[in-house]
């Protein structure tokens, strides 16, 4: 009876882990779309994508809770799994019929999570450099007439710096 219970828990855990792969794949797709929106400067699209990411992350948290419950059930139902804390430890103690499937899932999860982390870092880099670029451009626009005192027109006359300012402003 206990063997059937363990089998049911392991099969449920495999379904949960497969769902995690689907969820993180959706997150990766969303991050790729966000990267394109960042590159193209589509702010409204970035907002929509960020909201979609929040929904995906909520799903990921729920799936993670289910996974933790399944692992806790395995720990309480068998002595050989009482110390199992993660997938690597579980793979080491499960029957061979589950070993290969869990190993495949672990590899897939690891791969997708690495891609998610990389895409997230790329987006962070793009956003920070975009912000820096905009800040630099604003600074340059606001100070353009102060640094251009020695420019000359085609006819050889000196250009008045007040006409070089790209933005009018009062101090």
Whether the per-residue pLDDT at 71 is higher than 80: the answer is yes
pLDDT in tens, 21-46: 999 999 999 999 999 999 998 999 99
List, in sequence order, every residue forming a beta bridge with 158; answer none if it has no partner.
152
| Cα–Cα distance, 3 to 80 (Å, whole number) | 12
Q: Is 138 strand, coil or helix?
A: helix
- Say if residues 74 and 13 touch (Cβ distance below 8 Å): yes
Dmax (CA) of the chain: 98
Q: Which two tokens stand for residue 69?
A: 């419950």
pLDDT in tens, 84-108: 888 888 998 888 889 899 999 999 9
166 phi and psi angles, rounded to 5 deg: -85, -20
Q: Rounded to two decimals, what is the model's pTM? A: 0.76
Which domains, ranges and CATH numbers included, belong to the chain?
2-163 (1.20.58)
When pLDDT is cut at 50, 70 and 90, the band that residue 165 belongs to is low
Give the residue, 85 or 165, on which the prediction is more confident: 85
Whether the per-residue pLDDT at 156 is higher than 90: the answer is no
Q: What pLDDT does 25 receive?
A: 97
């Amino acid at each position: 009876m206990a063997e059937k219970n363990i089998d049911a828990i392991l099969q449920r855990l495999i379904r949960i882990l497969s769902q995690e792969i689907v969820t993180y794949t959706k997150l990766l797709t969303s991050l790729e779309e966000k990267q394109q929106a960042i590159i193209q400067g589509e702010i409204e699209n970035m907002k929509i994508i960020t909201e979609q990411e929040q929904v995906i992350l909520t799903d990921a948290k729920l799936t993670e809770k289910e996974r933790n419950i399944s692992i806790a059930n395995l720990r309480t139902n068998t002595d050989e799994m009482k110390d199992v804390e993660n997938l690597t430890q579980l793979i080491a103690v499960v029957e061979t019929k589950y070993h290969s499937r869990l190993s495949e899932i672990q590899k897939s999860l690891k791969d997708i999570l690495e891609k998610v982390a990389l895409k997230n870092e790329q987006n962070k880099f793009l956003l920070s450099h975009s912000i820096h670029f905009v800040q630099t451009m604003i600074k340059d626009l606001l100070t353009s007439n102060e640094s251009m005192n020695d420019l000359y027109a085609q006819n050889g006359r000196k250009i008045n710096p007040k006409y070089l300012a790209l933005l009018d402003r009062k101090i």
